[in-house]
Structure 1
Amino acid sequence: MNESTLRRALLVIAILGLAIGIGAWRTGFGPLDANTIWTVATLPVVAALAISILRDFWIGRFGVDAIALVSMSAALLLGEPLAAVVVAIMYAGGTVLEDFARGRAERNLKALTDRSPRVAHRTSTLGTETISVEDVAVGDELLVRAGELLPVDGILLDASAALDESAVSGEPLPERRSAGDMLRSGTVNAGETFNMRASALAEQSTYAAIVRMVAAAQTAKSPFIRMADRFALFLLPVTLLVSGAAWYVSGDPIRALAVLVVATPCPLILAAPVAFIGGVSRAARAGILMKGSTALEALAQVRTAIFDKTGTLTIGGAELIEIEAAPGRDANHLLRLLASLEQASHHVLADSIIRAARGRQLVLSHPRDVHEHRGAGLKGRVDDMAIVAGSRALVLADKPLPGWAESGEEKYRDEPVLRVFVALGGRLAGVFTFGDALRLDAHDTLGRLRSAGITRMVMLTGDDGAAAKRTSALLDLDALVADATPAEKVATVTAEKASAPTMMVGDGINDAPALAAATVGVAMGARGATASSEAADVIVLTDRLQPVADAVRIARRTRSIALQSIIAGLALSGLAMIAAAMGQITPVAGALLQEGIDVAVILNALRTLGDGHLWRA
């Protein structure tokens, strides 16, 4: 019999004992009187609690459950078996309530582990075979059928795929992926069957990391919870002192019993763990993985936020920034022709160009007669039209820029961008500008962090000073550190941490030491930066910056709710103790009152599962 089943059985025994005893008392019949029935129903709870306390004491822990043991034992010794059985119901009910609350708080986390990938379909020259996910090797080609979980992290081999990433990233709508994109285990094929190449073993893939973090979240205790445990220990001597004083002043041992009954510190025992598990669960539902309640509590107290630049505040790749079209030319038509031509190229920009065209739902044509000029561009034909795309030297040679293109050339003269010139039929038709653009949600995220209590924001980057200053000028930052080596990043984080609890947000392998050095390291893990994710305390699984602000808000709200539950619960218990000491509350009424306090505290702690005042995307 596991502990959860035992606790439910003890609760049933105590409730049945109370009911049968009341029946015997009201009818006056039966071989046993009511007091004997209530005593018999209480003893199993007393015995189980005594064994639990001895077991904890043996491993070096001493809990405040001893107050419940003392109150039930005292009630039996003082001839108050009705009070004893009500306390037994209160205690057993509290443990069952705790099981329910923990189960409710862990439901989202458990859902993640229950749907872990178990099989994969490996393809070879001999056909397709179904194997255990643990047998997948790096480099294996895998077939993923419609509706199936992706077994491991990998690279898409087919032209496109639609993936439901909601269980991993929190994104509600299917995401479209293109050939060469990274795919993550645990996501679901929401489209047609496709092929992928495994890039990691099962135990090293995204979903395995999630399962490990879930286990950590369910077992680790935060400093806040450990502090609550230690504080709760002081309640035992205080309770005994108040109880003894009430007996001494009044001469009535029943008053002492009433004080013991209402003093069980369930708000401390239950509220903090349930609240923190609920907070971790709420974060997981939003695509934010927190490595246990320790990380959540630390995040709740940060005052300084440090951001890497490339891939964190910016997109981190050559993305299309602007299309300048010649008079009479349509920008989407030019993009379609350019992307069609770039299908024949291996240049680093080709994927970005094709992705931009597909993002606008443009239908590409098959290019013909393509000739690539290494490092300069492409020439070919698309839809029977001659097209040249590449550097200004390739496309224009010594010809001057037409007037419509001069403003763009001046605008981007000193910017760290790539410019692609496109000519149709020998005439310049458009200029495409690519660069590392600021994330669309960067402004809002920093503003939300300010409103959440972050007082200092710093950009810390290894990029050159000029590029860093251009980016920082667009944001509300307090300081900028550029040209930083990984060692200098660690030194900067350490210096900031000495002044205030500090959060470091980064995405690259070179950010890992700085993430580990911060009070809380937050990794932008959507692109699979394993080293930074391992070093971080919090991992954002969506390729957006906004969840960083959501994570801080969830952490602060969770800690606030836990504190509310503890303060309110202890205050109510304290008032009840005073009333009991003055003879205003009987032991039976005190037990019922304490159970009501426990229920209120648990329900309040479970509010961490909700959205509260979180911003929505």
Structure 2
Amino acid sequence: MSEGILRKLLLAIALAGLATGLAGADLGTGWTPGTIWTLSTLPVIALLAVSIVRDFMIGRVGVDAIALVSMSAALLLDQPLAAVVVAVMYAGGSVLEDYARGRAQRELRALSDRSPRIAHLQVGGRLEDVAVERVEVGDELLVRAGDVLPVDGVLLGETAAIDESAVTGEPLPRHLRQGDRLFSGTVNAGETFRMRATAMARASTYAGIVRMAEAAQTARAPLMRMADRFALWLLPVTLAVAGLAWWLSGDPVRGLAVLVVATPCPLILAAPVAFIGGVSRAAKAGVLMKGSAALEALAGATTAIFDKTGTLTHGGAELIGMEAAPGRDPDECLRLLASLEQASPHVVAAAVVEIARTRDLALSPPRDVREQRGAGVEGLVDDVRVRAGSRSYVVDDAETPLWAERAALRYAGQPILIVHLTIDGRLAALFFFGDSLRGDALDTLAALREAGITRTVMLTGDDSDAATRIGETLRLDRLLANADPAAKVAAVAEERARAPTLMVGDGINDAPALASATVGIAMGARGATASSEAADIVILTDRLKPVATAVAIARRTRGIALQSIVAGIGLSGVAMVFAAFGYLTPVAGALVQEAIDVAVILNALRALGGGDPTARRAIKAGRS
């Protein structure tokens, strides 16, 4: 029998005994209400004694001992009604705590419950169902409609619709094209497609998420450990106050009333429920926290440090400008370029094709394609000879037209890539690609400042011109350019000496800096394994706004935990004083304490929700 079921059974026994005794039922000789209440209390005392001994054997001492003392004392002082009421309140509190923990852990537990287990492996011309652990890198898999993707891979079919809500919190499916990356744990929301595995199950994205979720449920935050320390001294304080009340009044029942109102302690109920609720709330927003300690550390951070490339910026080739020759249609130039680039694996090629598709340009299949790595590509598009790439590859030593020189001067000194396009041997257009700022970067920094971040810093390996261009746009407090991994670690250490810091990065070279910050946050959507492993928190979406969401959730969760602890201890202390002066009987004290416990747990469960306006705005921004 599980402990949860046993606690419910004991609650049922105590409730039945209380009701039967109050009804005054005559069950035969010797079965007085007092006897019934006593017998109903003894099973709760027995289970509690076993639990206390078990905890003591592993070095833990909690305030549950107060419940044991109060029930035992009530029976010894011939107060069986008080004993059974305490038994009902204690067993009911345990069941309520089980419910609260279960509700708070539901989102994290759902991650493990939906782990992929079966893969449809294509072997030769036949299909074979195998356990996901048997999938090897390079295997070709079939993913049917509604299937959970078993491993990470790439799309072999032309298109696919993927529901990533369980992993990233995104409510709408993503529409992917051939060659796009696929992540385990997501769901095929469209037609059947084929994929090629790029990682084994244990090394895939979803397996890592499950491991981190399991760690999140077991790790203990400093505030939770502080609650345990409070519990240690609360036991002797309670016994001392109860003894003093008995000694001053000469009435042992007063001492019993003091014990009752201190049973059990809301201190040890509030913090775990609130922190598990906060971690669960963050998981729903696409933010995976590696335990309650990470959440509490994030709540205390006042300085935010960002890597530039891939974090504040897209980290890829973004079209930031184009110039067509006089008489040329810019959209037609882009269409021809994108049609040709369909045959190239270069990162710029993927960006060009994506831009053309977003503009609804009809692409044509290229023919007779030849590519020179690092220089460019050429081929036939609609019977037109198209060549694209560097200036030396495309136009060689030919004189650059005046329109092209003027266009290039606009980007002089900036870290950009220029793609030259010729059509039938004549320069037709220039395309300028750079590392552009994320669209949500400004909103994210504004939300962070509203959430309590007072200082923002950017670290980058780029030169000072590129860093200054981004820094001025974002109004950062400090910029550090030309920074290698060692310089980033030194800068993080310097900032951490001033105040608690959070560090956000996405690349392998950011891992040391993430590990050295008070709390490291990895942009994990692109599969940067090293940075994700080094970080305390992983953002599962390819956006920056969830960083602000995480800070808002962390601050609110810590606030709720502290509220619950302070209010619970304060109210219990007031009730102990009233009991010591005889204003609360043991039975009334038990009812008052149960009301306190229920209020504390309900307050702690608020960590599962949206919360105050600042948190709601930040959370809403993180999901938009």
> TM-score if structure 2 supplies the norm length?
0.94
CA separation of 1:328/1:238 partners in 2, compared to 1, >3 Å: closer, same or farther? farther
Mapped to 1, the partners of 2:267 and 2:448 lie a distance apart of: 30
CA separation of 1:225/1:126 partners in 2, compared to 1, >3 Å: closer, same or farther? same
TM superposition shift of 1:19: 0.7
**Cα displacement string for residues 194-250 of structure 1 (whole angstroms, at most 9, x for unaligned residues):** 222212221111111111112111111111101011012211121112212222222
Q: What secondary structure does 1:120 align onto? A: strand
CA separation of 1:155/1:269 partners in 2, compared to 1, >3 Å: closer, same or farther? same
Mapped to 1, the partners of 2:86 and 2:487 lie a distance apart of: 60
Counterpart in the other structure of 2:176:
177
Counterpart in the other structure of 2:341:
342
TM superposition shift of 1:443: 1.1
Structure 2: unaligned runs, 5 residues or longer: none
Alignment of 1:493-532 (within 5 A): 493-532=492-531
TM superposition shift of 1:491: 2.1
Contact residue 265 and residue 570 of structure 1 kept, 8 A? no
Identical positions, percent:
67
Counterpart in the other structure of 2:161:
162
Alignment of 1:472-487 (within 5 A): 472-487=471-486
TM superposition shift of 1:60: 1.0
Mapped to 2, the partners of 1:347 and 1:278 lie a distance apart of: 44
Q: Give, as a single letter, the amino acid of the residue that structure 2 aligns with 1:12.
A: A
Alignment of 1:60-75 (within 5 A): 60-75=59-74
- 1:80 equivalent to 2:79? Answer yes
Mapped to 2, the partners of 1:550 and 1:485 lie a distance apart of: 29
Q: Which moved more, 1:384-393 or 1:406-415?
A: 384-393
Counterpart in the other structure of 2:574:
575
Mapped to 1, the partners of 2:422 and 2:146 lie a distance apart of: 44
Counterpart in the other structure of 1:101:
100
- 1:15 equivalent to 2:21? Answer no
Counterpart in the other structure of 2:226:
227
Alignment of 1:591-602 (within 5 A): 591-602=590-601
Q: What secondary structure does 1:473 align onto? A: helix
TM superposition shift of 1:375: 4.6
TM superposition shift of 1:45: 0.4
Contact residue 460 and residue 482 of structure 2 kept, 8 A? yes
Q: What secondary structure does 1:345 align onto? A: coil
Contact residue 494 and residue 518 of structure 1 kept, 8 A? yes
Alignment of 1:456-467 (within 5 A): 456-467=455-466
Contact residue 396 and residue 428 of structure 1 kept, 8 A? no
Q: Which moved more, 1:372-381 or 1:3-12?
A: 372-381
Counterpart in the other structure of 2:470:
471
Mapped to 2, the partners of 1:545 and 1:344 lie a distance apart of: 32
Mapped to 2, the partners of 1:543 and 1:247 lie a distance apart of: 64
Contact residue 324 and residue 429 of structure 2 kept, 8 A? yes
Alignment of 1:201-350 (within 5 A): 201-325=200-324, 331-350=330-349
Mapped to 2, the partners of 1:24 and 1:499 lie a distance apart of: 68
Alignment of 1:130-141 (within 5 A): 130-141=129-140
Q: Which moved more, 1:1-10 or 1:384-393?
A: 384-393
- 1:4 equivalent to 2:4? Answer yes
Alignment of 1:119-158 (within 5 A): 119-158=118-157
TM superposition shift of 1:30: 7.0
Counterpart in the other structure of 2:538:
539
TM superposition shift of 1:315: 0.5
Q: Give, as a single letter, the amino acid of the residue that structure 1 aligns with 2:449.
A: R
Q: What secondary structure does 1:474 align onto? A: helix
Mapped to 2, the partners of 1:464 and 1:31 lie a distance apart of: 91
- Count of aligned residue pairs for this structure pair: 615
Contact residue 90 and residue 264 of structure 2 kept, 8 A? no
Q: Give, as a single letter, the amino acid of the residue that structure 1 aligns with 2:112.
A: T
Alignment of 1:367-446 (within 5 A): 367-372=366-371, 375-392=374-391, 394=394, 398-401=398-401, 403=403, 408-424=407-423, 429-446=428-445
Counterpart in the other structure of 2:559:
560
Mapped to 2, the partners of 1:16 and 1:302 lie a distance apart of: 51
Q: Which moved more, 1:392-401 or 1:461-470?
A: 392-401
TM superposition shift of 1:498: 2.0
Contact residue 263 and residue 590 of structure 2 kept, 8 A? no
CA separation of 1:582/1:389 partners in 2, compared to 1, >3 Å: closer, same or farther? same
TM superposition shift of 1:398: 3.4
Mapped to 1, the partners of 2:344 and 2:554 lie a distance apart of: 47
CA separation of 1:462/1:34 partners in 2, compared to 1, >3 Å: closer, same or farther? same
Mapped to 2, the partners of 1:269 and 1:375 lie a distance apart of: 62
TM superposition shift of 1:124: 2.7
Contact residue 232 and residue 265 of structure 1 kept, 8 A? no
Q: Give, as a single letter, the amino acid of the residue that structure 1 aligns with 2:73.
A: A
Contact residue 457 and residue 478 of structure 1 kept, 8 A? yes
Task: Please provide the CA RMSD for this pair.
Answer: 2.1
> TM-score if structure 1 supplies the norm length?
0.95
**Cα displacement string for residues 70-125 of structure 1 (whole angstroms, at most 9, x for unaligned residues):** 11111111111111101001100111001000000011111111100001111132
TM superposition shift of 1:377: 3.6
- 1:589 equivalent to 2:594? Answer no
**Cα displacement string for residues 559-609 of structure 1 (whole angstroms, at most 9, x for unaligned residues):** 000000111111111111111112111111111111111111111100111
Q: Give, as a single letter, the amino acid of the residue that structure 2 aligns with 1:213.
A: M
Mapped to 1, the partners of 2:604 and 2:569 lie a distance apart of: 14
Counterpart in the other structure of 2:38:
39
TM superposition shift of 1:385: 4.5
Q: Give, as a single letter, the amino acid of the residue that structure 2 aligns with 1:17.
A: G
TM superposition shift of 1:470: 2.4
Mapped to 1, the partners of 2:326 and 2:7 lie a distance apart of: 78
Q: Which moved more, 1:423-432 or 1:463-472?
A: 423-432
CA separation of 1:463/1:576 partners in 2, compared to 1, >3 Å: closer, same or farther? same
Q: Which moved more, 1:207-216 or 1:322-331?
A: 322-331
Contact residue 259 and residue 581 of structure 1 kept, 8 A? yes
Mapped to 2, the partners of 1:54 and 1:370 lie a distance apart of: 77
Q: Which moved more, 1:27-36 or 1:100-109?
A: 27-36
Mapped to 1, the partners of 2:298 and 2:233 lie a distance apart of: 28
TM superposition shift of 1:423: 4.4
**Cα displacement string for residues 532-562 of structure 1 (whole angstroms, at most 9, x for unaligned residues):** 1111110001000111111111111100000
Q: What secondary structure does 1:543 align onto? A: coil
Mapped to 2, the partners of 1:49 and 1:230 lie a distance apart of: 20
Q: Give, as a single letter, the amino acid of the residue that structure 2 aligns with 1:577.
A: M
Mapped to 1, the partners of 2:374 and 2:549 lie a distance apart of: 43
Mapped to 1, the partners of 2:150 and 2:434 lie a distance apart of: 34
Contact residue 164 and residue 190 of structure 1 kept, 8 A? yes
TM superposition shift of 1:330: 5.2
- 1:58 equivalent to 2:57? Answer yes
Structure 1: unaligned runs, 5 residues or longer: none
Alignment of 1:605-616 (within 5 A): 605-612=604-611, 613-614=615-616, 615=618, 616=620
TM superposition shift of 1:362: 3.4
Counterpart in the other structure of 2:489:
490
Contact residue 421 and residue 432 of structure 1 kept, 8 A? yes
Q: Give, as a single letter, the amino acid of the residue that structure 2 aligns with 1:355.
A: E
Mapped to 1, the partners of 2:345 and 2:272 lie a distance apart of: 53
TM superposition shift of 1:442: 0.9
**Cα displacement string for residues 129-152 of structure 1 (whole angstroms, at most 9, x for unaligned residues):** 110001111221211111111101
CA separation of 1:28/1:5 partners in 2, compared to 1, >3 Å: closer, same or farther? closer
TM superposition shift of 1:14: 0.3
CA separation of 1:118/1:568 partners in 2, compared to 1, >3 Å: closer, same or farther? same
TM superposition shift of 1:427: 5.8
Q: Which moved more, 1:101-110 or 1:577-586?
A: 577-586
Mapped to 2, the partners of 1:543 and 1:82 lie a distance apart of: 60
